[in-house]
Amino acid sequence: MDVFTAIVEFFQGASKESFLQFCNAVPLRNPEFWQKFWVSLWDGTGPMNLISYTFWVFLILCAVFYYLFPKKIKPIWLLICSYGFYLHDRSGLQMVTLLIGTTLITYFSALAIHQLKQLWVRRFFLLLSICTSGGILFYYKYANFLTQTWTDFWGLFGFSFRSSVIDLPVVLGLSFFTFQSLGYVIDVYQKVIPAEKNPIYYALYVSFFPCITSGPIERANHLLPQLKNPAKFNYSKIAGGLYRILWGIFKKMVLAGNLDLFTREVFTNMHKYNGGILALSALVFSYQLYLDFSGYCDIAVGAGKVLGFDLIENFNRPFAGRSYTQLWDRWHISLTTWFRDYIFTPLSFYNRGLTGVLGKLQGWFNIFIIFPISGLWHGDSMGYVVWGILNGLFMVVGKVTAKKRRKWAKKNPLYRSRFIKALIQCSCVYLMFTICIVFFAASYYGQTASDGFYLFSHLFSMQGSTNLSQLVFIKLGFSSLTLWAILIGSIFVECMEKIGKPEQVIRKLYFPIRWVIYYSLIFALLLFANFGASGFVYGNY
């Protein structure tokens, strides 16, 4: 019997008989039991999942000792926990080696940039950091992609090359810790912040485990001061953090997990379904991606609060945005602001002397180029690149037509109603986002960019051997109760998040209402959660 299952069954029917059964199932003096117990906590087959009970045990132990240790020991303890988090996977030693190497190079480079005055020396160490962080990122994520793209390009002209696939391991949190370290060095170079002299604080900033798998991409001027002055034990903050974790698990497991069953089936078997189901799956995936990503970020932010830290908020109800610019101001905030500060702003500064048509074209290019780069950040697939190109085009068109659209809005009779105006604008933004997300979904589910074009070319097709009812109720096995749970749960999420941050809203409610919500979310997890969907979309990046 599985150890965890035995414990659950014991508490479900606590009695003398069940206690004896539990003791027989869990022989405390048997070495084999402890070996199995350890394997159940650490099977070493993959990175620690923020939804697993292993992570909950890990977080509790980490928090308990963190608050017991004196101030000088706290950062050392968190650093040990962070590296231990990565070493949960037995192949994590390579990741920790890369992490330590990146940390050392960027740490000493920042010190040199801060202390030395010669411009060429400061630029040398900046370039060293960029090449180190960027080189590691490009090698592990894009070596095979670039090799295959190069081979395919020359194949168009009749040249054939042998492209060998390099067996590269997936490095946990690679994109996140390279961006954090690189952003820190650039900030030091631009004299936004001084270089951090304490290597423990800096190493912890780069490797802080709550935000390494899903973000947010932290900034040094936000996280480092908190690491140096850790907050004292605060029951309200810890309780709010635990609720934020529960909130994220509900969004991830109950809502996104069940929607994933539908979208995965359709996107991996497009030829079986008609245009209506294809269109519905695309619309559903947009919201599923938001629930999945924001839910995982809720868990990360909640874990940070349990330890006394306030991490950057990564989402702010993006589909409430009334323009494409507003949507991206609210979506993956830490990544979009990183691209804005370290790519868009330097490009704009470099080309600040251009005027007239060239100036406008350069400004539009600066806006556009961020999104294909973002597409490549998400993965080495043409589907992600097409997703980025479309997003960039929509963003540029939105900027170009902004003044004319404001004039038309004043003359539009439908816009006299504020509700109808908001509904139309939000619907248009959601539709545009969905057009782009089709290619993202195709790549995520192991398809190609051509499958995204297939979906659009068959939107009005009536062919398909399965209708929607057969797909949902028979093939996927959904019950009407599950569908109601998804619908009511989604409405509840939108209403609660419109009021404010979940952990702040819940603490303001009356005690009985608060605990009704707690138990409702827990029961929803027990009854409707798709525990098979323990993966995480952005965990791949």
Alpha carbon distance, N-terminus to C-terminus of the chain? 36
Smallest CA-to-CA distance from 287 within 263, 306, 265 is with 263
Give me the residue label for tokens 């132990």: 61
Tell which residue, 193, 176, 191, 177, has the closest CA to residue 105: 177
528, 250 contact by CB (below 8 A): no
DSSP one-letter string for 302-357: HHHHHTT--PPP--S-GGG-SSHHHHHHHSSHHHHHHHIIIIIHHHHHHTTT--HH
Cβ–Cβ under 8 Å, residues 110 and 184: yes
Question: Alpha carbon of 106 to those of 87, 131, 190, 506: distances in Å?
Answer: 22, 11, 15, 41
For residue 383, what are the contacts with CB-CB under 8 A and spacing of at least 6?
A: 439, 440, 442, 443, 444, 447, 448, 449, 451, 452
Cα–Cα distance, 284 to 319 (Å, whole number): 13
Angle in degrees, 0-180, between the axes of helices 382-400 and 356-378, rounded to the nearest 10: 150
210 in Cβ contact with 300 (< 8 Å): yes
CA dist 396 and 79 (Å) reads 43
Residue 266 to residue 263: CA distance in whole angstroms = 5
Q: Could you tell me the two tokens for 451? A: 């499958």
* DSSP designation for 538: G
Query: Which residue shows structure tokens 């690491």?
Result: 227
Q: Provide the token pair at 435.
A: 């057009």
Distances 398 to 29, 128, 364, 391 between C-alpha atoms, Å: 68, 37, 11, 10
Q: Which residues are tagged catalytic?
A: 378
Q: Are 294 and 287 in contact (CB under 8 A)?
A: no
DSSP string, 402-422: HHHHHHHHHH-GGGGSHHHHH
**Main-chain phi, psi angles of 375, to 5 degrees:** -60, -45
What is the number of residues in the chain? 541
What's the CA gap between 339 and 217, in Å, rounded? 11
3-state secondary structure of 46: coil
Q: Which two tokens stand for residue 65?
A: 């000792």
Residues 454 and 273: beta-carbon distance below 8 Å: no
CA distance linking residue 138 with residue 161, whole number of Å: 22
Whether the CB-CB separation of 291 and 472 falls below 8 Å is answered with no
